[in-house]
Amino acid sequence: MNKPDSTNLDLRPSPLKLTTTSAARTKNPPRAPTNPANFSGDLAGAHDAVRSVPAPPRSSKPGHRRTVSAGAPLIYSGGSSNTSPNLSPGGNIFPAGKSPKPVALPTRGPSRPDVLGSGAVNYGRGSIVRGGGGAKHGNSTNGFCDAEELKRLGNEFYRNGNFVDALAMYDRAVAVSPGNAACRSNRAAALTALGRLGEAAKECDEAVSLDPGYARAHKRLASLYLRFGQVENSQLHLSLSGLKMDEYEEQTLMFLEKHLNRCEDARKVGDWKGVLRESEAAIAVGADFSPQLVACKAEAYLKLHLFEDAESTLSNIPKVEGCPLAYSQIKFFGMLGEAYVPFVSAQVQMALGRFETAVAAAEKASLLDHHNVEVARIVNTVKMVARARSRGNDLFSSGKFSQACSAYGEGLKYDCFNYVLYCNRAICWSKLGLWEQSVQDCNQALLIQPNYTKALFRRAASNAKLERWAEVVKDYETLRCELPEDSEVAEFLRQAKLALEKSREAVYAVEVEEILALDKFKAAIASAGVSVVHFKVASNELCEEISPFVNTLCVRYPSVKFIRVDVEECLSIAKAENIRIVPTFKIYKNGVKVKEMIRPIHQLLEDSVRKNSSL
């Protein structure tokens, strides 16, 4: 997008400001024409012959000759054939019909390098002088002539694609002649080619401040604002240029505005796939250097729980520095554009568990736009979540695991999709021996962030305590793919596979009894000891999920009789026991029902079996 185009440069010399010095005073000095129509503002270079041709029409301000053609206006390098008959080859103005005597122009000495003047004598700020010598006192035109030469050299570097050297020449030209709008506009072109668009916009803004009617600078500024995704500012400067907007510019701005509006509408209703689609379309149309649109993509990825994509996108936000004031005043989704980027960054950093960084980003957004409600809400959320996490960590370190669970839970009230807090609370549950709760929190974390290694480790450890070896093997196999070089994971996987084989062998030796007849059922539960009855339906997913765990309990508690009843195959038992929901578990002790559970979690079921088998 930063492809050089020499037609973007202002190649004309600027008007020469003449001052009378003691060496130049004569009895009857030549006077400049009093009629402004006689001054074209386009001066010939020192190497051109003076040609007697009619003077071209002047522009609104000297030094900035513009065209009103539909295309990008071409401008001049100082070698124009349309020179005024009242101009000398050096660019001096003299009365009509009174040509001064020719004066030999100095030539550059190749062995004496140009250096910046020291300022010890009055030769103009930033003038270039020959190495080893100083400027002569009173030569006030040297600095301005040198600015034109520096601009010409910069133009040559720019045409050849040497933008760093071109910028250096324009820098020196601006230092010599800070009020030269053409030099500033050309400097903006070099900055754009180097990807420093914020500084380029600032330089264009300076140029149009010096010359409000400078069409080329307005056009360049409009192009920059388009790349920033700021339709209003782009339209404003296209209008101020005084040139007719071509069809391409008009369509580009129209499409950009359409995509921005659609993006905002999708964001309001939480259609994050739509936000992602429209923000990418806006970037493709031409707003390829908009920090806000890239941040918008990151926010959409975040809401879609694509955290890696959100982080990657956030790291690629364009750096726009040194922009004019108008850039920072544009609003994006109701907040100041500059506040939107840290606003999104705070959310992404919080989701990734970088709470201190998130707080800093949220506070920055608040400083930039402290009146915005969305910003204020995010600041509060980030601070509360960070505080809850910090308190939970402190309690965990102190061995107060129950209180730590509560602290992490407080944080989840403010951000229910923070997988880091779920995982932290999971390890607290495991420290309390509540393996089922630990597994559930790990499940939540992995729903939000799949393949989160910490959650996989903790879930595998908790399932191992519950002897769910198939689930343990599955988690360690996933970890083996994520961490192929980790020898500890490989060893855990080997042990889990051995445990799984042993559990399967034990299940074959001890089986859950299947009962289909009502009389047999009554006889079974009336027998001495503890009986656990699992009422199920073969096609029910919850029943299928918990059945392997019942088999594990059967092996783990051999003194307990486990019975399975399919209520669809034995409606009489289902009616006698009033079974309406499956899976349902009933525990009988010496023929008396002591416990009934509907769709219990694994931990509750095992705790109930353990408690009644030990009585």
Per-residue pLDDT at 339 exceeds 80: yes
CB 317 within 8 A of CB 341: yes
State residue 508's pLDDT score. 53
- Of the pLDDT bands very low, low, confident and very high (cuts 50, 70, 90), residue 505 is low
Rounded CA gap, 532 and 271, in Å? 49
Q: Are residues 59 and 152 in the same domain?
A: yes
State residue 510's pLDDT score. 58
**Domain membership of residue 488 as a residue range:** 417-509
Q: Are residues 275 and 373 in the same domain?
A: yes
Per-residue pLDDT at 9 exceeds 80: no
Rounded CA gap, 497 and 490, in Å? 11
Q: Does residue 91 belong to any structural domain of this protein? A: yes
Q: Does residue 597 belong to any structural domain of this protein? A: yes
The two structure tokens encoding residue 579? 């079974």
The two structure tokens encoding residue 415? 């951000």
Return the minimum-mean-pLDDT range out of 76-85, 316-325, 504-513: 76-85
Q: Which residues contact 419 (CB under 8 A, 6 or more apart)?
A: 351, 444, 445, 446, 448, 449, 452, 455
Per-residue pLDDT at 78 exceeds 80: no
Summarize pLDDT for 232-253 with one digit per residue, the tens: 999 999 999 988 888 888 999 9
- Compute and round to an integer the Cα radius of gyration of the chain: 40
Summarize pLDDT for 512-523 with one digit per residue, the tens: 889 989 999 999
Summarize pLDDT for 427-477 with one digit per residue, the tens: 999 999 899 899 999 999 999 999 899 999 999 999 998 888 889 999 999
Summarize pLDDT for 173-189 with one digit per residue, the tens: 999 999 999 999 999 99
Q: Does residue 428 belong to any structural domain of this protein? A: yes
State residue 559's pLDDT score. 84
- List residues bridging with 532 in a β-sheet: 562, 587
Which residue in 74, 23, 81 sits closest to 47, CA to CA?
A: 81
Q: Which pairs with CB-CB distance under 8 Å and at least 24 residues apart come from 238-242?
A: 240/208, 240/212, 241/215, 241/216, 242/66, 242/68, 242/213, 242/215, 242/218
The two structure tokens encoding residue 465? 């305590």
Q: Are residues 200 and 291 in the same domain?
A: no
- Residue 269 sits at the vertex; the CA angle it makes with 265 and 272, to the nearest 5 degrees, is 85
Residue positions counted in the chain:
615
Q: Are residues 465 and 330 in the same domain?
A: no
Rounded CA gap, 65 and 52, in Å? 20
CB 345 within 8 A of CB 362: no
Q: Does residue 204 belong to any structural domain of this protein? A: yes
Which residue in 198, 427, 168 sits closest to 324, CA to CA?
A: 198
DSSP state of 257: H
CB 426 within 8 A of CB 462: yes
| Domain end (from 509, 530, 549) | 509
Which residue in 159, 167, 164, 152 sits closest to 46, CA to CA?
A: 152
Q: Classify 566 as helix, strand or coil.
A: strand
- Of the pLDDT bands very low, low, confident and very high (cuts 50, 70, 90), residue 565 is very high
Q: Does residue 238 belong to any structural domain of this protein? A: no
Name residue 210's amino acid. Answer: L
Which residue in 141, 190, 140, 137 sits closest to 163, CA to CA?
A: 190
CB 70 within 8 A of CB 244: yes
- Whichever domain contains 571, its CATH number is 3.40.30.10
Furthest-apart CA atoms within the chain: distance in Å:
139
Average confidence score pLDDT of the chain:
80
Rounded CA gap, 130 and 110, in Å? 10
State residue 198's pLDDT score. 94
Q: Is 55 exposed, middle or buried (0-12, 13-18, 19+ CB in 10 A)?
A: middle
Sign of dihedral through CA atoms 175, 181, 187, 191? positive
Summarize pLDDT for 21-49 with one digit per residue, the tens: 333 333 344 433 333 333 222 222 333 33
Per-residue pLDDT at 340 exceeds 50: yes
Query: pTM for the complete prediction?
Result: 0.63
The two structure tokens encoding residue 343? 């606003």
State residue 212's pLDDT score. 94
State residue 615's pLDDT score. 61
Cis-peptide, bond into residue 57, ω within 30° of zero: no
Q: Are residues 357 and 466 in the same domain?
A: no
Q: Are residues 35 and 141 in the same domain?
A: yes
Scanning the structure block, which residue is given the tokens 């034990």?
A: 506
Summarize pLDDT for 110-167 with one digit per residue, the tens: 433 433 333 333 333 333 333 333 333 333 344 445 889 999 999 999 999 999 999 9
Summarize pLDDT for 282-314 with one digit per residue, the tens: 999 999 999 999 999 999 999 999 999 999 999
φ/ψ of residue 565, rounded to 5: -130, 120
Q: Are residues 39 and 147 in the same domain?
A: yes
Per-residue pLDDT at 371 exceeds 80: yes
Which residue in 353, 539, 533 sits closest to 453, CA to CA?
A: 353
| Domain end (from 509, 543, 576) | 509
Q: Are residues 524 and 497 in the same domain?
A: no
- List residues bridging with 597 in a β-sheet: 585
Q: Are residues 163 and 77 in the same domain?
A: yes
Which residue in 547, 600, 301 sits closest to 440, CA to CA?
A: 600
Each residue of 237-276: b (16+ CB within 10 Å) or e?
Answer: bbebbebebeeebeebbeebbebbebbeebbeeebbebbb
Question: How many C-alpha atoms does 23 have within 13 Å on its Cβ side?
Answer: 6
Scanning the structure block, which residue is given the tokens 């309690």?
A: 395
Q: Does residue 222 belong to any structural domain of this protein? A: no
Sign of dihedral through CA atoms 577, 580, 582, 585? negative
Q: Does residue 283 belong to any structural domain of this protein? A: yes
Which residue in 466, 500, 503, 578 sits closest to 533, CA to CA?
A: 578
Summarize pLDDT for 411-425 with one digit per residue, the tens: 999 999 999 999 999
Rounded CA gap, 216 and 232, in Å? 18
Q: Are residues 80 and 162 in the same domain?
A: yes
Distance spanning both ends of the chain, measured CA to CA: 79
Q: Does residue 318 belong to any structural domain of this protein? A: yes
Q: Are residues 276 and 185 in the same domain?
A: no
Rounded CA gap, 555 and 79, in Å? 99
Q: Are residues 291 and 371 in the same domain?
A: yes
- Whichever domain contains 59, its CATH number is 1.25.40.10
| Domain end (from 457, 478, 509) | 509
Scanning the structure block, which residue is given the tokens 């392997």?
A: 548
Per-residue pLDDT at 563 exceeds 60: yes
The structural domain count of the chain equals: 4
